Amino acid sequence: MRDGERRQPLLSVLRAALFVRRTLRGEWHGMVVLPVRQLRRRGLSGLSLAFVAAFGVIFFHDLAQRPAGAVVVWRLGGVNADLPLWLALLRTPVSLYVPALDLPVWAGITQLFLAFALAELALGRARTLAIAYGTTLAGTLAVRVMIALGPGWWGLGLPPETGQVLDTGPSAAVVGLFTYLSVVRRAPVVFTLTGGSMVWESIAAPNLAGREHLIAVGATIILGLYHQHRGRHGSCRVDDAAGSAAAEDKRAAPAAATATDALPRHAPSTEVSGAPRPLIRLQASCLTRHSARSRESPGDRQG
């Protein structure tokens, strides 16, 4: 009894270690091995969104360093909550490439490239663009709702002057892509380093960008869970359909065997399928006559 009690903590530690090993192995396979295989198969074309996003941020950052270029950047991709909604929606796609003024550009380029590269290789271009744009748009609309609520509301509301703060940059899209990937690929380490760190940063130093990051994390968690739920139900429907088809085949097999046994059994036919029957019979009679003549002796033929 005492030996069993002594072994119980050791078994618990061993099970925990095996669970961590399986989790890390699955995460490595889903987040590294599979994207690398896709990259080998597709080549650099599988990184097109990553290159476009990185060069877009670099281009708009360099353009904004000049006074005339800053005006162009603002008119193309500048977004804040004081703008009319239709104009903010029109500028939101370009605002992904306009870096925020208070964030380091070159430090975020690596995260941006890695997020879009992994997402494009693992999810495809269409879903990557949908998640990146959806998370950015969700943050922009959520800020308007918070300003409409006003100060208070258990810390959810924002003062009206927040509407003048520039709301641009790809950070919400990056956080959303990493969070979505960590949910659908079951990667807790990636989630802790990306989405979890953003949650902690938003709590430690609350600001407008932190609130948008929280919105992006929450929205992509919901999307990832919905994707997994739909995938499980779709596979269940496919399995049910395959099972019902197999059951129907099993039920139909005895009936087919009975019908086959009830048919009259004839001698094997010498007819060739696909040819007209009169012609086949004529050919058979000619062959019979020829073989009969070949068996006759030369004397019989002369007589």
Of 82-86, 210-214, 286-290, which gets the smallest average pLDDT? 286-290
Residue 291 has pLDDT above 90, yes or no: no
Quick one: pLDDT band at residue 151, thresholds 50, 70, 90? Answer: confident
Give the pLDDT confidence score for residue 110 in this predicted structure.
Answer: 87
* Residues 109, 58 contacting (CB under 8 angstroms): yes
pLDDT, greater one: 67 or 7: 67
Average pLDDT over residues 222-234: 78
Residue 158 has pLDDT above 80, yes or no: yes
Give the pLDDT confidence score for residue 161 in this predicted structure.
Answer: 87
Give the pLDDT confidence score for residue 133 in this predicted structure.
Answer: 93
Of 24-33, 64-73, 108-117, which gets the smallest average pLDDT? 24-33
Of all residues in the chain, the percent with pLDDT exceeding 70 is 71
Residue 180 has pLDDT above 90, yes or no: yes
Residue 262 has pLDDT above 60, yes or no: no
Residue 266 has pLDDT above 70, yes or no: no
Q: What are the angstrom distances between the C-alpha of 103 and each of 48, 99, 116, 156, 167? A: 25, 7, 19, 24, 12
- The pLDDT tens digits of the residues spanning 130-149 come to 999 999 999 999 999 999 88
Residue 298 has pLDDT above 60, yes or no: no
Residue 7 has pLDDT above 60, yes or no: yes
Quick one: pLDDT band at residue 65, thresholds 50, 70, 90? Answer: confident
Of 1-15, 46-60, 96-110, 284-298, which gets the smallest average pLDDT? 284-298
Mean pLDDT of the chain: 76
